[in-house]
Structure formats: C-alpha cells, structure tokens
Chain A
Amino acid sequence: MKKFDKERLLLGAAGPAIALVVAVLLTSVVLLASGKSPFEPYAIMLEQAGFADIQVLILNAAAGYYIAALAVAVGFRMNLFNIGVEGQYRLAAMVTAVVGAKVALPGALQLPLLVLVAALTGAFWAGIAGLLKVTRGVSEVVSTIMLNSIATAVIGYFTLPKVFGVQQGNNKTTGEMHDSGWFPNLDLGPAGELYGFVFVAVALGIAYWVVLNRTRFGFDLRATGASESAAAASGVNAKRMVLTAMLLSGAVAGLAGLPTLLNDTHTYSLSFPTSLGFTAIGIALLGRGGPVGIAFASLLWAFLDKASAELDYRGYDTEIAVIMQGLIVIAVVVSYEAVGRWGLRRQQQRVGKELAAGHVLGKTGAPGTSGETGTSGDNNDKEVAAR
C-alpha cells in the first residue's frame, strides 16, 4: 500500500536528517566553546562546494569512499563486520601497483587485468578471515584487525628496494606503472580532471543494488542478516554464505584504492592515502547499507574533507570537519536505532487501527482479532547494524 511506502521513505530520511542536525548543533557548540563563530565555517564550506574544482575533488574522493563503504556494507547486510577493508584495499593497491609496473599489456587487457588483480588480492586477504571464521570459529572482527596490521608489514616488506620497491628520494614506491594501465580521466578543463573510476564506482553501486535486491543470492544474504536461524531453516548454508560474503566484501574492498592508484598516483608509495577502510565503516553506517544512501554519505564525507581545507586560511581549524564526521556517525547510529524502533511501533499501531477500521486486504472485512502482536524482533539475538 502506498501509504506505508511513503511513511517508510519518510522514516528512512528522518534518521540521517535528525542525525545531521544534531551533529551540526554539537559542532557549533564545540566551535562556540573554542571561541569561534558557530556558523561561519559552514558558510565557508558551502561556498567552497560551489566551485567547480572543489566539486571535482569531492567527486574524486567520494569514488574511493563509496567503493570501500560498499565493501563494508556487503558484510553489514549479513551481520559480518569486515573491519579489515583497510588492510584489504591497501594490500590490493600495492599488489596492483607492482603488477602494473612489471606487466605491460595493451590497455584493453592491462586494465581488466589490474582490476582483477586488485579484486583477487582483496578477496584473498578477506578470505583468510572468512576461512578462519568458518573453520575455526574465530571472530571476524578480531581476525580482520590482526590482518590489517599484518598487511602493513607485508606492504612494508614488498616495498623494500631489494624486493619490489623503488627508492624515490625519501619515499619508497613500487615504481611507475606502465601507462597502458592508467585509467582514463575526464578532462573538465579548468575544473581539473574527473577520475574515470568515478563511473566504475557508480556501476559498482548499481551492481550492488541489483545483486542484493534482485537476485536469489542477494535475498539469501539479506535473510541471513535479518535472522540467521530463519535463513538456515530456509535452506541457506550459513558457512558458505559467510565465506562468500567475506570474499565478495574483500573483492570490492580491493577496488577501493584503484581510483587513486589508476587515475592519479600510478604508483604505490608510503604517501598512499590510508585509513580509507575505517572511514568507510562510518560511511556505510551513515548510508544504512543502501547504495543510494552510501552515495550521499560518501559525498558528504568527501565534501567535509575537501571543503574544509579552506578553513585553515580563514582562521579556523580543518579538524572541525573530523569532529563533525565523528559526531555524525554517533548521532546517526543512535538516531537510526531510535527512529527505527519508533517506526516499527508506529506501524504496528497503524496496522491494528487499519484492521479495526476494516481495511483488510483479505476478503473478510470484519474487524480483525487483535491477538497478541508479534514482538518487535526482541527474539533476534543480533541486532542488524545497517538495514
């Protein structure tokens, strides 16, 4: 029924909206407390967002965020916490850079090869955690955290000059990649160059939505996230699902470093951007695991990142953006929970009312027997992070 759909949409938007308002208010309090204007920074940042070059920067940054957040979201949708996106994307970027520097095929083959290498590396690294969980019962939270640190060491080793590294001044790099492996950029004139990978990110988002909502596999994955026991009874092989989801999440994570690598740096070095994977967790939470929500969230995040740079020149501290990001995440998780619960209660009441009023889909219009109403998921042992 339409009415319910509209309300769902409204509720879906209410969560992040409330969170944003709360986060802005709290940030203003912080600004006030530090003796600054509580409003001007927003004005400056919004003004920045009006410039074409900043917009391109935001889009470029959002591409990586988006892909990484999708990787996190794949796990979230079935209650798997892949904290290891960080390690997966960095390792994948490094391996891809090495392959890109050592192998020179024509562009039509080189690019698919590099993308494949990145995805496989990410999947391999996440697969270790998946395998440990399935076979040995090791919590993926702990194992992916460990794997992040191990990835750092592995990267450190591979970038040694005696292994694959190339020393460039103070920086250890993996050497320049062959230009057949450079992903084409879209030249926008004075506004700068838009990463071609932005379009890949969009395509990934669409694929994510299609797989999740329109395929049997996606249904099984979501069912597992909503209720593990019900999914098992419905015929989902839980272990295989965990492993598949982990591999998939890792493969997507492996691509997260590619916008920077293939469109910009063309080499992996010590200055390659880090902590994308942790940021992505926040973005995935903010976007509630949906492809559109995540897109907005990554744009917001990239906006805060890029537009805040100007603040330094105007007597503010760019770090205010970091505070805001943190506050947004906290506010979001709380408001989703609160709004979600409220919405569910409200729906139950409305269903009761509609039934009492005789609006029944079935043939009998008689007032329904109210009976005991199913309790709101208290039976679920696990709360779903981002539904």
Chain B
Amino acid sequence: MHALCGENGAGKSTLMKILYGMQKPDEGTIAVDGQQVAFASPGDAIARGIGMVHQHFMLADNLTVLENVVLGSEKLHGIGAKARAKIVELSERYGLGVRPDALVENLGVADRQRVEILKVLYRGATTLILDEPTAVLVPQEVDALFDNLRELKAEGLSVIFISHKLGEVLSVADEITVIRRGTTVGTVVPADTTAKQLAELMVGSELPTPETAESTVTDRPVIEVRNLKLLGEGGRALLDDISFTIHEGEVLGLAGVEGNGQTELIDALIGLKGADSGTLRMATGEVGSAGEAAGEPEEITSWPTRRRREQGIGYIPEDRHRHGLLLESPLWENRILGHVTERPNSKGFWLDLKSAQADTRRIVEEYDVRTPGIDVTAASLSGGNQQKLIVGREMSHKPRFLIAAHPTRGVDVGAQAQIWDQIREARREGLAVLLISADLDELIGLSDTLRVIYRGRLVADADPADITPEELGSAMTGAASGHLEHPADESGAAEDRPSGETGDQPEKTEEAAAPEDEAR
C-alpha cells in the first residue's frame, strides 16, 4: 500500500489522472509490471488492471448497485444472475457488505465508496487508486475503509492512496511518497518517520503562512448565533445546537472535515435556508460605532437573504463559480451581483451603471485584479483574479460580518497572500469574520478563535496561538472535544463553549446515518 501525500494543489490528483489515462503526460514514462505503457483513455488503464476510486463518486443514483457495477463491463458476466453472483462473491471475499439490488440513491457515503471499490474489483483490477478516500468519511467509516484496504492488500492487490492527512497516511501505508508543487520531494517509510517530519516535507518552508498580528478583538458582538438547528430531509439534524458569537475585529475560524455542516451553516447565516429553531442576531449600522451607541444586535432570523446582505453580511462563497459569479457576464455586472440594491450600483429602483462601472475600475485597481478591462467576462479571468474581484466587491460594501468560505481555494500563491492581507486589514477596522477553510495553516494563522464542527455540532474550540495543525486535524475527526490545549482567556467566545460531549453524538449527517441503517 503506497500513499501519495501532499498539500492541496500539490499535483496529486493530476498525477493520478495521468495514471488512469484521463490526462496525457507531456514527458516521462509509466511502467506497469516492468512494462512501459501509455494510456490513451481510462479503458486502457482498466485493461492493464488499474482501477480508480474517484474522490467525487462516479455513480448513477437512480440505478441499482448491480447496474452501476456492471455498467461498461457487461461483457464480463452479463447483467443478470451471473453478475449478481460475482458481486456477492467479491463483496464477501473482501468483506465489503454490498447489496447488489439496493438503489445507490439510498446508500450512504461509505457504502457508495464500497460500491466504487467493488466496481474496480469487478473489472479485475490489481492496482487500486483511491483519490482522497477519507475526505468525506467519519472516523468509524475511515477505520472500516482501512480494514477493507488491508483485506485487499492481503489478497495481493496494490493500493495507491492519495491523501493530505498525515495521521491516516502514517497508520495505513507501507510507503509514502510526498509531492509538492508538482515534484516528488521524497519517499519515506512510516516506521521511521514522524508526523512532524512528514508535515515539513509536505509544506516545505518557503510557503507563506498567514499570521495575525496583534489581536484586534473587541467586546462588541457583531453576530450572535444561539442554538441554531437545521433539519434535513427526513428530520435529521444537519445543524444542531450551534451557538457562537463573533465580535468586532474578530476572526472565528471554523475547522471541520467537509460535509459536517459547514455548507448548511453558511446557508443558514446568509438566509438561503431558514433555521428550524434558534436565533440569529446581528449588529447593524456603522462599523466601529461604540458598543453602547450601536445598541443591542438586532434579531435577523426571519430576514431574507437580500436584507441580510444589505445590512452588512458579506459573503465569499465556497464555490465561486456557482455562488459568487455570473461567469458569462462582464466584470462590472459581477460587481453589481449581490449588492444590486446598494450604492453605487443603484439609485432607488434604477441601476446606476456609470458609478457601478467606475467602482468596478476602482476595485480592479485597488485589489489588483489582473484584467485588460471591465467588459471582459468573469470566465476569462484566472481563479485568483476572480476571487480578488469577489473579495473587493464584498469589502466595498463595508460589511459588518464577513463569511469567508475557503477564500484562497484554487488561488495562486500571490493572490493568496493578498487576500489574507485584505482580511486582516478589514479585521483591524472592526470586521467580524467567520472563516471556513480546509487549509489548517490558514485557519490557525488568521483566526483569533477556533471552533471545530463535527456532524453538525460545534464540538471543540481552541486557541490558535497554541495549537498545531495535527492537533486540530485530530479534533476534526471527532477524536477530541471540549477545549483543546490550554484554556484561552482572551477568546471572546469562551462562554459559548459547547458542553463537549461526544459519547452520545447522534447521527447527524445523511452520510452518517447510512451505515447504521444497514447494520440494523
């Protein structure tokens, strides 16, 4: 079992795509069993016994497990009883527990992943590539997955395992290759490597790490969330008992494995999803107005999205193509997006195109958006420049509270540093920020307070001053709860600390519910 390790964007996925024939290499060779090969398509890779389990599952929801598995390889065992028998046999041999006639739609994430693995095995693969297989799993599921993988290894199959989570890699791999910025920086054996050494290899030393200067946290609360609860389909709680307060000048970092309620929390804060219970309160009016003058934060629970944004919620979305931009519209229209009711974009009922365009030019200059003009479409900018435009747009409306979801994802290093600077500067001026990120260094470096979200609950908090990414990472998997490390007294949100129980964690997310269903 070989693990491939590296930061986000280090080139792991690209490498795997080449191995699986989805992309062609410009140079270099691939050898399978000592034979040099060239893959033109996934089909060639499959023929060579290489199978891939994608990070985003390639399954059709409305088809059964059987149908998903045999699709494309109907010639092997047909699509009827023989195929079913083969699936059952494989499933039993490797302990996958897959039911061939279940609809994929009704399966949880872990089950789906097992179906993906089965798909690969069904095609007779001898080498399995797993792309970030644990990103969407909860710890118990991760353990189960590793058991499966060990089973496969015992049967003589090779597994290539891609991850950026050190703990997992060290516990499961026989050999680890670390890549950084597209090149191999070393191959190590877990037995004589520590997590720290591995982390250094992965991150290198030259990467900029965000660092907050002196604390600017005040005691004037900007946003107060109390006992927020959001129910999903079928009455499962996607968010449960979420409470926190962010003050002027405070950055609250939210750590968590993706799919643990972050998206839902954003939706609830921005008003796309109504809370099922709990309250949201926000201080409106001028930034920096004295606490007494500003008065108590107003209750905004029932406000629609537009009103919340007008009153000072800024939003840097997780997926900027889907939620932050009109890709085929010119930049200045993108500058209006989300703030169409506010100056300089409109005067009353009418749009004010002149000032909007002038202001777009200002943003482009101030935020260093590299573009030949403001009439080009947003799609023609690079990811970093798109993001700078979004940051500039949101900052231009003097938000009281900024939701920044993965603000530097898919952004080049230069833009990354700029965006960090802008967030820090705004924080100095009294902005309250909720920072959600998968980049733990970013979280630790920028935040004043850290919270960990796990299955829709805030389970732990920490002081960024004395916590390492590894410690935070282990809390994200639900292994630790309550306050991590030493108590932090300057943390403004200390009184909101969750009760910190993990023993009776109810199943929260859709994914989490499935394995239990099956067991029943």
Contact = CB atoms under 8 A, between A and B. Distances in A.
Given A223-B337, A351-B371, A371-B412, A377 B376 contact: no
Contact of A360 (B324, B341, B372, B383): B372
Interface in B389-419: 410-412, 414-415
Given A233-B317, A362-B364, A363-B365, A226 B379 contact: no
B162 interface: no
B311 to A, nearest CB: 11
A56 to B, nearest CB: 37
Contacts of A373: 379-383
A135 interface: no
B353 A351 contact: no
A362 B386 contact: no
Contacts of B411: 371
A364 B371 CA distance: 11
Contacts of A230: 322-326, 337
A362 B364 CA distance: 6
B166 to A, nearest CB: 27
Contacts of A375: 321, 379
B227 interface: no
B365 A344 contact: no
A379 interface: yes
A359 B101 CA distance: 60
Contacts of B369: 361-362
Nearest to B379: A374
Interface residues of B, number: 61
Contact of B382 (A216, A218, A374): A374
Contact of A227 (B305, B322, B364): B322
B375 A233 contact: no
A361 B365 contact: yes
> Residue among A233, A373, A379 with the most chain B CB within 10 A?
A233
Interface in A110-160: none
B433 to A, nearest CB: 18
B340 interface: yes
A233 B370 contact: no
B365 A369 contact: no
Contacts of B371: 351, 355, 360-362
A220 B340 contact: yes
Given A5-B375, A372-B382, A377-B327, A216 B364 contact: no
B306 A235 contact: yes
Interface in B405-441: 410-412, 414-415
B328 interface: yes
Interface string A205-245: 00000000111111110110011011111111100000000
A113 B143 CA distance: 74
Contacts of A4: 372-373, 375-376
B155 interface: no
A383 to B, nearest CB: 10
Given A223-B337, A227-B327, A363 B351 contact: no
Interface in A330-387: 344, 347-348, 350-351, 354-355, 359-364, 368-377, 379-380, 384, 387
B380 A348 contact: yes
Contacts of B341: 216, 235
Given A233-B305, A344-B328, A373-B380, A379 B365 contact: no
A315 to B, nearest CB: 48
Contacts of A379: 319, 321-322, 327
B305 A235 contact: yes
B464 interface: no
A344 B380 contact: yes
Nearest to B388: A362
B373 A361 contact: yes
Interface string A15-55: 00000000000000000000000000000000000000000
Given A219-B340, A371-B384, 15 more contacts: A4-B372, A215-B350, A216-B351, A227-B322, A232-B305, A235-B307, A235-B310, A236-B306, A344-B328, A364-B368, A370-B382, A371-B383, A372-B383, A379-B327, A380-B327
Interface of A: 1, 4-5, 8, 213-220, 222-223, 226-227, 229-237, 344, 347-348, 350-351, 354-355, 359-364, 368-377, 379-380, 384, 387
